[in-house]
Amino acid sequence: MSFLRTPDPIPGWLSESELAETRARVPMLYVEAVPVRTDDRGQVLDIGILLRVSPSGSITRCIVSGRVMHGETVRGALSRHIEKDLGPAALPQLPQSPVPFTVAEFFPWPGVSPLRDNRQHAVSLAYVVPMSGDCQPRHDALELAWMTPGDALSDSVAEEMEGGRGTLLRQAMAWVGCLP
């Protein structure tokens, strides 16, 4: 979602007007990564939640999320967005399988899905990604907060999650077996 603000100069990048036009025509393919820390048996201990300043100036919480570009693989997009948001030393353990824990459907209008994206219809493949290195939030993220699953799933955090992604976090924690 942060793509618009600091575009990478790579093929697949679209101008603002091309992007607006395209968004009106087709669902946009996204990836989401829920950053986690695990113990040595793979059990999730903490979830990484980003604090971001939205274009309107308000502060929101989010996870790693971004567009898959033309010609880019899903793995490539995951890797690129994680590096953009968490820095080059995050050492993500990317999933072996392309099967996501859920397929998240965002609509610009209410009533279809609990997830919302005012800019577009987006379909996002969502993954849990353990980080074994040092995460340094970059870009327009102010801070990365590591929270226990219990804290991350609290109502107060869920309400501040961008686009209704509190639901995505609950789905991620259900999948890893960490629902409180």
Residues that bind its own copies (CB under 8 A): 12, 14, 18, 22, 24-29, 36, 38, 40-44, 67-76, 78-79, 93-103, 105, 107, 112-114, 121, 123, 125, 128, 130, 167, 170-171, 174-177, 179-180
Q: Residue 57 CB, nearest distance to its own copies (Å)?
A: 29
Helix or strand holding residue 84 (H, E): helix 74-86
Contact (Cβ atoms closer than 8 angstroms) between residue 80 and residue 62: no
Q: Residue 173 CB, nearest distance to its own copies (Å)?
A: 8
Dist. CA 121–CA 140, nearest whole Å: 23
Q: Using the 8-state DSSP alphabet, how is residue 16 labeled?
A: H
Q: Residue 141 CB, nearest distance to its own copies (Å)?
A: 22
Give whole-number Cα distances, 114 to 62, 105, 109, 145, in Å: 15, 9, 10, 24
Q: Residue 150 CB, nearest distance to its own copies (Å)?
A: 12
Half-sphere exposure of 123 (CA within 13 A, CB side): 6
Contact (Cβ atoms closer than 8 angstroms) between residue 147 and residue 47: yes
Q: Residue 142 CB, nearest distance to its own copies (Å)?
A: 27
Query: CB count, 10 Å around CB of 61?
Result: 22
Residue closer to its own copies (CB basis): 50 or 178: 178
Residue closer to its own copies (CB basis): 59 or 174: 174
